[in-house]
Amino acid sequence: MSWKSHIVRKSLSGIEPYRPGKPIAEVQRELGLQSAIRLCSNENPWSLPERVVEAVRLASGETCRYPDPASYRLKRAIAMKWGRSPSEVIVGGGTEGILYSLFQSIIDEGDEVAYAVPTYPLYGLAAAAAGAKRIEVETGETESKTGLDRLIEACGPRTKALVVCNPNNPTGSILTRTDLTALANSLNGRETLLILDEAYAEYVEDPKYASGIDLFDQLGNIVMLRTFSKIYGLAALRVGYAIAPKPVVETYLKVRKVFEVNSIAQNAALAALSETAYIQEVREKTLAERERLSSALREMGIRVHPTQTNFIILDFQDAKTVYENLLLEGIIVRLGDDLGYPGHLRVTVGLPEENDRFLQSLGKVLKRLAGR
């Protein structure tokens, strides 16, 4: 065997790198298109409030300095928002950055990380990077009782973390307050951390939904992850946070990248946090557009799954062909296959004009495919 196959970590041999949604410039370059739109990464496409833009501008004048490694002001503002102590707050490079360091700080050899599938692929990748054994539990499309039971049963004495994506990407479904409480209670007294990724929480309408923060005081072994990449509109700046038990935060600080969150991101996130009217407005506009998009798609005879997020899931028998044909039209959506969800396309709710262009192009593509 050559040194090349010896040098790589064996536990990563079966792992595929994350396949992100395609950038606009790449699609235009590869397909020779004049314009393309991105409805593949569940970003907030509405323009930012003036105060956040100003915060970015101000911090960009200080780029010769290292950022505040403690994210002091942002951490305090987050703690205040949730009524917690700053010592229970982690600020990191998005959910992604936090997950990688979090697993590195809690996983010992032989430990497991469990999660239901299909879900956000980063959990498996971050777990593998920390050397954890991955326990993937098929719970089905809706979080049925049996799915929940399977998830609870999958957690053994070596399961250090159970990750729940709530609302879930890519299905758009939620775990209700009742089910979440049952799940959390089943882990109470065990050495398993319940990690709740609530990246899409601000879009939820269902009154049966509850954030994990409600269980934090009662149970303790909970980590709530939030991001500035979605409704706050700061995906490019890479900043997110977690509310976590103090001992977890302390261990996390030993392995995290010290200057991971740059000054522009810290300043923008701080300004964005107090933009409650903007958040409410984006939520309303997104939900209205989602409804308009969903009705138009149903009228076209397409099955649209119920969702509590800023993306919709569509059923297509041959999703790959539809995906590729949409690309040729300059429409970038997400292929379910890349998210462990074959037979589906995931489409982000965009600006009204983007949604119109998507509907028009999809109609054209389906007509073309029907005529083949």
**What strands lie across the sheet with 311-315, from one edge to the other?**
311-315, 344-348, 334-335
Strand ranges inside the chain, DSSP E: 37-38, 89-92, 112-117, 133-138, 159-165, 193-197, 222-227, 240-243, 311-315, 331-332, 334-335, 344-348
Helix (H, G, I), strand (E, B) or coil at 355: helix
* 88: Cα within 13 Å, side-chain hemisphere: 19
Q: Which of 103, 120, 203, 232 binds ligand PLP (CB under 6 A)?
A: 120
Which CB sits closer to ligand PLP, 67 or 365? 67
The nearest distance, CB 166 to ligand PLP, in angstroms, is 9
Instruction: Answer yes or no whether residue 240 interacts with ligand PLP by CB under 6 A.
Output: yes
- Binding segment for ligand PLP (CB under 6 A), chosen from 94-102, 127-135, 274-282, 340-348, is 94-102
Question: Segment 191-210, which members bind ligand PLP (CB under 6 A)?
Answer: 197, 199
Instruction: Answer yes or no whether residue 311 interacts with ligand PLP by CB under 6 A.
Output: no
Report in angstroms the alpha-carbon separations of 119 from 122, 136, 148.
9, 10, 14
By CB under 6 A, the count of residues binding ligand PLP is 14
- Nearest CA to 275 among 72, 42, 50? 50
Instruction: Answer yes or no whether residue 42 interacts with ligand PLP by CB under 6 A.
Output: yes
- Binding segment for ligand PLP (CB under 6 A), chosen from 89-97, 274-282, 294-302, 363-371, is 89-97
Alpha carbon 230 to chain centroid distance?
Answer: 8
- Binding segment for ligand PLP (CB under 6 A), chosen from 92-100, 149-157, 295-303, 335-343, is 92-100
Instruction: Answer yes or no whether residue 309 interacts with ligand PLP by CB under 6 A.
Output: no
Cα distance between residue 187 and residue 223, in whole Å = 13
Compute φ and ψ for 49, nearest 5 degrees.
-65, 150
Instruction: Answer yes or no whether residue 173 interacts with ligand PLP by CB under 6 A.
Output: no
The nearest distance, CB 180 to ligand PLP, in angstroms, is 16
Instruction: Answer yes or no whether residue 229 interacts with ligand PLP by CB under 6 A.
Output: yes
The nearest distance, CB 19 to ligand PLP, in angstroms, is 12
The nearest distance, CB 338 to ligand PLP, in angstroms, is 12
| Burial class (CB within 10 angstroms; exposed 0-12, middle 13-18, buried 19+) of 310 | buried
The DSSP bridge partners found for residue 345 are 314, 335
- Nearest CA to 65 among 267, 349, 303? 267
Question: Percentages helix, strand, coil for the chain, rounded to the nearest 5?
Answer: 45, 15, 40
Which CB sits closer to ligand PLP, 101 or 169? 169
The nearest distance, CB 14 to ligand PLP, in angstroms, is 23
Instruction: Answer yes or no whether residue 95 interacts with ligand PLP by CB under 6 A.
Output: yes
Residues that bind ligand PLP (CB under 6 A): 41-42, 94-96, 120, 165, 169, 197, 199, 227, 229, 235, 240
